[in-house]
Amino acid sequence: MSTDSIHQPTIGRFTTEHLDETDSTNRVCKDLAQEGENTDWVVWTDFQTAGRGCGTNTWESERGKNLLFSILCHPQNVRATHQFLLLEAMSLALIEALEPHVHTGSLSVKWPNDIYWNDSKLGGTLTECSLSGQQLKWCVIGTGLNVNQRAFMSDAPNPVSLLQICNKELELQPLLERILSQFSKYLDLIKDAKYEALHKAYMTILYRREGFHDYCDAHGRFRAKIVDVEHEGTLILQDTMQQIRRYQFKEVQFII
């Protein structure tokens, strides 16, 4: 997609494009980045034909009912080993934008990238970054958020939408604008190298951030508590035998 051919309204610092349908908003943003586009973009759509969840998962979304968007941003002076900061920033932005609409239950982020309401999944985020030497060159952050969908037909175990929680439909663009406003705030923290403040805020919104809970890894089921998430995204757990366990993405399962 050429930037010459698309309408370019802005939301804050972001140039935006709304598409009725696309294969993947992440793919559109990556094309923009590979064309040498240095603008910070947001591409959002009513429907994706090839939307992805984590790994090989797909993302179920009824046409026009949910927020499906990707952000292309250009973080300055961020080391490649610290790209998890972008996922922390988006997680915080989503939680803060959703809080005014959720008056019961608890919002949290299930490490590393799922937005939860109680024990149900409300949304998720993927990041794809390009490097220039040891620094981030650009990052594409793709998010799917269940907003106005009444029912889910896939075999996903625990989806939920804001409509199901609040019993009220929400306008999508104002919600997107609130998310982008919050995300911009955290991009500024990253620009100012205030990484510790961002990380501390992320730790306060973690799912199961307190107490011992059930997990499962390649060796079986165990109980543990969250100790920390390291700057590259490694989850640190401490089990009931006081042993420290370290996990990369997909190496441990939350038993819900």
Q: What is the pLDDT of residues 21-53, one digit of tens each?
A: 999 999 999 999 998 878 999 999 999 998 655
Asked whether 7 and 17 are in contact (CB, 8 A), the reply is yes
Two tokens, residue 46: 């009513």
Task: Give me the residues paired with residue 137 across strands.
Answer: none
How many CB atoms are located within 10 Å of the residue 74 CB? Answer: 17
Two tokens, residue 149: 């969908």
| Architecture of domain 3-204 in this structure | 2-Layer Sandwich (3.30)
What is the reported pLDDT for 56? 46
**Distance between CA 187 and CA 191 in Å, rounded?**
6
Q: In this structure, what DSSP letter does residue 147 have?
A: -
Print burial letters for 85-122: b (CB count within 10 Å at least 16), e (below 16).
Answer: bbbbbbbbbbbbbbeeeeeeeebbbbbbbbbbbebbbb
What is the reported pLDDT for 188? 95
Question: Any idea what the Cα angle at residue 72 is, between residues 142 and 248, rounded to 5°?
Answer: 50
Peptide bond connecting 159 to the previous residue in cis, omega within 30 degrees of 0 = no
Asked whether 143 and 70 are in contact (CB, 8 A), the reply is yes
Q: 3-state DSSP call for residue 2?
A: coil
- Give CATH for domain 213-254: 2.30.30
**Distance between CA 121 and CA 4 in Å, rounded?**
38
What is the reported pLDDT for 52? 56
**Distance between CA 144 and CA 9 in Å, rounded?**
21
Domain assignments of the chain as residue spans, ordered by start:
3-204, 213-254
What is the reported pLDDT for 54? 46
What is the reported pLDDT for 136? 95
In the predicted model, residues of the chain with pLDDT beneath 50 are 1-6, 54-56
Q: Do domains 3-204 and 213-254 have the same CATH topology?
A: no
**Distance between CA 54 and CA 140 in Å, rounded?**
14
Angle between helices 84-98 and 195-204 (to 10 degrees): 50
Cβ-proximal residues to 237 (8 Å cutoff; 6+ apart), any chain? 215, 224, 225, 226, 227, 244, 245, 246, 247, 252
